[in-house]
């Protein structure tokens, strides 16, 4: 098993390199960029962007418009700006170097977990990600736990009652819940229960109230879940559908096997057969997929929910960073999330061997 784990870890290096290389190449051809963004702010908003350039562009505030003629530039909207100012902008953002050199420097820094600072925020990229992480961790963790707590018992019950009226109407609920977009349901919840047209029972901003630090321990817990109620309700509607059906089908496959018939013939009760023999085999796929389900909910499932309920998490950070062309934040998010995703994939595979020792990936590779 040690050799298999080592091979998987070594394979992460070219995989991560490919992800970063393709993303970096796409960015080179994408319209706009940080330099164009600063130029647009200067020409359209009276030069307040000069305060955002940091120490490398401190004397760039002397940039002036050339009233006597038009200076050619490769940047849209830069006509009339001092070429020296444009050159200092390029140096400030690192665009004075060739793309391959910039890519190599980025990989070297990222290998040492040095992600630099945000272009447009006076904060380190890693500090910014850590600052936004509590929201995404809260949403990802609780939505995964809730979906499993709902889908596993429901899937088992549906398998036992296969073809009954209970199975039919619960399938209808699961399908409807899966079909309704989470953001539409979130808007409905907001209108009904968050000060829309009906009731004002739940807050609409943040994970905690302004007086959170003044509350007792029990009050803090209640306040935390009070803020999470609507976002989690909106997300859980579709989160448990796939796991419910997977659980049901896994149990149905196992129930029809010969060893279940033998166990029943020995006089074991249905509960003993179901939870003593069927459960471990049927739950292999479901439980082993838990790490992947968590990472999926953590990183990909909350952008619109964060936006609707004003939750400043990693999804919203990544989206705004792309719009702002804040490339250090964009690539750091991509690198960290890809690395975590690769390790989670390895953990998922190892979970299979922990649940069922008969699975041996190392012997399969031989």
Least confident of 45-54, 130-139, 245-254, 328-337: 45-54
Domain segments of the chain: what residues?
Answer: 2-96, 126-365
Q: Is the pLDDT of residue 66 over 50?
A: no
Torsion angle of C-alpha atoms 257, 259, 261, 265, degrees rounded to 10: 180
CA neighbours within 13 Å on the CB side: how many for 102? 17
d(C-alpha 230, C-alpha 185), whole Å: 10
Which residue, 162, 161, 34, 146, is CA-closest to 90? Answer: 34
Distance CA 333, CA 318 (A): 7
**Is 5 within 8 Å of 343 (Cβ atoms)?**
no
E strands present in the chain: none
Tens digits of per-residue pLDDT, 115-163? 988 888 888 899 998 888 888 888 888 888 888 888 888 988 898 888 8
CA dist., res. 163 & res. 154, Å (int): 14
The HSE-up count of residue 249 (CA atoms within 13 Å, CB side) is: 9
Judge contact between 202 and 230, C-beta under 8 A.
yes
Q: What is the pLDDT of residue 332?
A: 92
Give the closest residue to 202 by CA, choosing from 313, 302, 309: 309
What's the mean pLDDT when you consider all of the chain?
78
Over the stretch 264-321, which tens digit does the pLDDT of each residue have?
Answer: 888 888 788 888 778 877 777 777 667 666 666 666 556 778 888 878 888 788 888 8
User: Of all residues in the chain, what percent carry a pLDDT higher than 90?
Assistant: 7
Q: Cα–Cα distances in Å, from 326 out to 116, 117, 120, 122, 319? A: 12, 10, 7, 12, 10
Decide if 288 contacts 246 (C-beta within 8 A).
no
Q: Can you count the helices (H) and strands (E) in the chain?
A: 18, 0
Per-residue confidence (pLDDT) for residue 250, from 0 to 100? 86
Q: Looking at per-residue confidence, does 94 or 69 come out higher? A: 94
Measured between alpha carbons, how far is residue 296 from residues 75, 289, 290 in Å? 38, 11, 10
Rounded distance between C-alpha atoms, residue 310 and residue 230, angstroms = 12
Could you tell me the sign of the dihedral formed by the alpha carbons of 133, 328, 295, 363, in that order? Answer: negative
Assigned architecture for domain 126-365: Orthogonal Bundle (1.10)
Give the pLDDT confidence of 179-209 residue by residue, as tens digits. Answer: 888 788 888 888 888 876 788 888 877 788 8
Planar angle of CA 60, 66, 70, nearest 5 degrees:
120
Residue 92's pLDDT band, with cuts at 50, 70 and 90, is: confident
């Amino acid at each position: 098993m040690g050799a298999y784990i080592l091979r998987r870890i070594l394979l992460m290096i070219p995989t991560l390199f490919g992800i970063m290389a393709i993303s970096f190449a796409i960015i080179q051809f994408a319209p706009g960029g940080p330099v164009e963004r600063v130029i647009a702010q200067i020409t359209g908003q009276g030069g307040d962007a000069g305060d955002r350039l940091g120490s490398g562009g401190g004397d760039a505030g002397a940039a002036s418009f050339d009233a006597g003629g038009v200076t050619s530039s490769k940047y849209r909207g830069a006509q009339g700006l001092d070429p020296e100012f444009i050159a200092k902008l390029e140096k400030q953002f690192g665009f004075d170097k060739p793309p391959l050199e910039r890519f190599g420097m980025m990989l070297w820094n990222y290998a040492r977990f040095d992600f630099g600072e945000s272009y447009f925020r006076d904060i380190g990229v890693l500090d910014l990600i850590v600052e936004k992480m509590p929201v995404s961790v809260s949403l990802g963790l609780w939505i995964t736990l809730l979906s499993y707590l709902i889908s596993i018992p429901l899937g088992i019950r549906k398998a036992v009652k296969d073809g009954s009226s209970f199975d039919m109407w619960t399938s209808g609920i699961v399908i409807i819940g899966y079909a309704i977009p989470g953001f539409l349901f979130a808007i409905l919840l907001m209108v009904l229960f968050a000060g829309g047209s009906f009731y004002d029972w739940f807050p609409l901003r943040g994970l905690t109230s302004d007086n959170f630090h003044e509350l007792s321990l029990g009050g803090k817990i209640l306040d935390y879940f009070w803020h999470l109620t609507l976002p989690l309700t909106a997300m859980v509607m579709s989160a448990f559908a796939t796991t419910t059906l997977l659980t049901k089908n896994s149990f149905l496959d196992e129930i029809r096997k010969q060893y279940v018939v033998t166990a029943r013939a020995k006089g074991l009760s249905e509960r003993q057969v179901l939870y003593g023999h069927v459960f471990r085999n049927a739950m292999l796929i479901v439980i082993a997929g838990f790490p992947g389900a968590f990472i999926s909910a953590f990183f990909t499932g909350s952008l619109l929910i964060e936006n609707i309920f004003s939750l400043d998490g990693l999804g919203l950070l990544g989206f705004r960073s792309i719009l702002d062309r804040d490339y250090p934040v964009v690539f750091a998010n991509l690198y960290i999330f890809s690395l975590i995703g690769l390790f989670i994939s390895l953990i998922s595979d190892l979970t299979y061997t922990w649940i069922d020792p008969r699975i041996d990936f190392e012997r399969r590779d031989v």
